[in-house]
Amino acid sequence: MPDHTAPDATPTGRLSRRSLLAASAGAAAAIGAAGLPVLATGTPALANPGNASKLRVEPLIPARNRGIILYSVRDRITAAPDDSGVPYGFERVLARLAEIGYKEIEFAGYTQSTEILGRQITPAEIRKILDDNGLVANGTHASIQPATFQQQLDIAEELGMKNIGTGSDPTSSAYKAEWDAAADIWNELGRQARARGMRLYTHNHDAAYSFLIDRGPRDAQGRQTRSSGIRRLEYFFEITDPRYVFFELDIYWAYVARYKHQKYVNPAGQEVTDLFDPILTVADRTTRFPLFHAKDGDRDTSVPNGYQMTPLGDGDLNFQQFFQTIGERNFHHANWEMDTAPGGADNKGQSLDFAATSYRNMSDLTIYVEK
C-alpha cells in the first residue's frame, strides 16, 4: 500500500474544441469493470434541479497544485537580455508565470544567461525569486546518480522542494536484470531523499510502457527474447519500495505508449495484443504519483507517435476524465509541459503565450461535489 506518511501525502476560446466529457464507450466499460468511477458523457445531475441544489462546483486541479515545468519556457529562461519586451531569465520569467496564475514550478536546470548578472545565478537567488512571487518549487528534472545525489538534494532543499526527480527512465533496457539493478539503486536513493523530507520520482516517456523482455528462448548473448506481457515501468512499480520511489506520469507520452506499444510475443512465440490504459495504471496506485505532466496532443496517425503536441486544451487528450477518475485531487500536482512550445527568433513570446492559454484551460477543469 502507498505510504501516506510521505511528505505531503494527504489523500483526499476555452477548454478544447473537443468535448472533454466524450469518453469512449470502450474506456468507460474498462474503467467500470475495474470498479472505478466512470465519467459520464454529460451532466445528468445538473439536469435535475433537485440534484443541482445539492452540488457545488470546485476546481478539478486545485489552484495551489497548478504548475509548469520550466522546460516548456526554456527559450526564455536561457535567453540573453534583449529589447523584444518578452521576459527573459529567472527573475522576469517567474514573475510572468506567477502573473498568469501558476503557483508551482518544476525545474529543468538551474542556469540562465550569464549576461543578466555578469555571472551564473545561484540556487539561493532563485529561491528568493520564488518566494518574492509566491511560487513553490514542486520538483526538478535533475541527473539522478549515486555519486552526486547528495549534492542534488542540497540544491533541492535550498529551493524548498518536496520532490526530486529526473526526466529519464531508471534504465533504457528492455531486460529484467537491468530493471532489477535499477530498483536496488532507486530504493537506496529514495531512502536518502525521504531522510531529508523529499520524495524521489522518475518521469516516463513512451518506451517505459513498452513490454519487458523476460521470457522465452535466449539469444547468442544469453538474453531472453520474449515477454510475459508486463510493461517495463509497471514491473518497476512492483519491485521498488512504495515508501521511497514515486512517479511522475507524463500523460502525453502515456497515450503515445497506448498507440505505439500494443503487441508482444509471448513465451509460446505467439503475438498478443494488449492495450495500455494510462488511467488504470495510475488509479491502481494513485498516491505513488504525486506529480503529472499535463501535456496535450492532437491525434495524428501520420506521425510515428500518433500525436502532435499542442497547448493544453487544444488537443484530443481527455484531462477531465483522467484527473476525475484517478481521484485524490488534493494530493496530485499537475505541471503543464509542451516540448515544442518555444517559437524561436520569429516568435519569442510563443512559449509564454502557450503557458497562459494552458493555464486558463487547466483552470477550466471542474468537478461537481456534494455541498
Residue 28 reports pLDDT greater than 50: no
Work out the number of other CB atoms within 10 angstroms of the CB of residue 279.
Answer: 24
Confidence of residue 50 (pLDDT cuts 50, 70, 90): low
Residue of higher predicted confidence among 243 and 8: 243
Q: What is the pLDDT of residue 205?
A: 97
**What pLDDT band is residue 94 in, cutting at 50, 70 and 90?**
very high
Strand partners, 292: 249, 334
Q: What is d(CA 117, CA 107) in angstroms, rounded to the nearest whole number?
A: 20
pLDDT classification of 370: cutoffs 50, 70, 90 = confident
**Per-residue cell: 125:** 537567488
- Asked which of 24-28, 101-105, 332-336 is least confident by mean pLDDT, the reply is 24-28
pLDDT confidence bin for 301, thresholds 50/70/90: very high
Tell me, yes or no, whether 341 lies in a domain.
Answer: yes
Residues 23 and 38: their CA atoms lie apart, in Å, by 9
Distance CA 212, CA 348 (A): 42
Confidence of residue 148 (pLDDT cuts 50, 70, 90): very high
**Between vectors from CA 51 to CA 45 and to CA 56, what angle results, nearest 5°?**
80
Instruction: Kindly calculate the radius of gyration of the chain based on its CA atoms and give it in whole angstroms.
Output: 21
Cα separation, 296 vs 5, in Å, equals 32
Give mean pLDDT, residues 159-180.
Answer: 97
DSSP-derived secondary structure for 3-61:
-TTSTT------S-SS-TT---HHHHHHHHHTT-PPPPSS-HHHHSHHHHTTEEEEESS
Task: Tell me which amino acid residue 326 is.
Answer: I
Residue 121 counted as domain residue: yes
Q: What is the rounded CA–CA span in Å between residue 187 and residue 184?
A: 5
Per-residue confidence (pLDDT) for residue 54, from 0 to 100: 85
Domain for residue 2, yes or no? no
pLDDT-derived band at 11, boundaries 50, 70, 90:
very low
What is the per-residue pLDDT for 369?
A: 87
Residue 23 has pLDDT above 90, yes or no: no
Model confidence at 52, pLDDT cuts 50, 70, 90, reads low
State the average pLDDT over residues 261-277.
98
Tell me, what's the pLDDT at 45? 39
Residue 68 lies in a domain: yes
C-alpha cell at 163: 520532490
Residue 17 lies in a domain: no
Q: Which residue has the cell 537580455?
A: 81
Four-residue CA torsion sign, 321, 326, 332, 335 = negative
Distance CA 213, CA 227 (A): 5
What lies within 8 Å, CB to CB, of 76 at 6+ separation is 86, 87, 88, 89, 93, 342, 348, 351, 352
Residue type, 152: Q
Q: Taking the chain, what is the end-to-end CA distance rounded to the nearest angstrom? A: 30
**pLDDT of 214 above 60:** yes
Sequence-distant (6+) residues with CB within 8 A of 84 are 348, 349
Q: Is residue 204 part of a domain?
A: yes
Q: Is the pLDDT of residue 230 over 70?
A: yes
Whether the CB-CB separation of 107 and 94 falls below 8 Å is answered with no
Residue 75 burial class via C-beta count within 10 angstroms: exposed 0-12, middle 13-18, buried 19 and up: buried
pLDDT at residue 371 is higher than 90: no
Q: Is residue 1 part of a domain?
A: no
Query: Does residue 290 carry a pLDDT above 50?
Result: yes
Report residue 308's pLDDT band, with 50, 70 and 90 as the boundaries: very high
Nearest to 76 by CA among 96, 56, 61: 96
Is there a domain that residue 6 lies in? no
Overall number of domains in the chain: 1
345: which 3 cell numbers?
527568433
CATH number at residue 226: 3.20.20.150
| Residue 197 lies in domain | 25-370
Helices assigned H by DSSP within 231-314:
232-239, 251-260, 278-283
Q: Which of 266, 262, 265, 284 is nearest to 275 (CA)?
A: 262
Mean pLDDT computed over every residue of the chain? 89
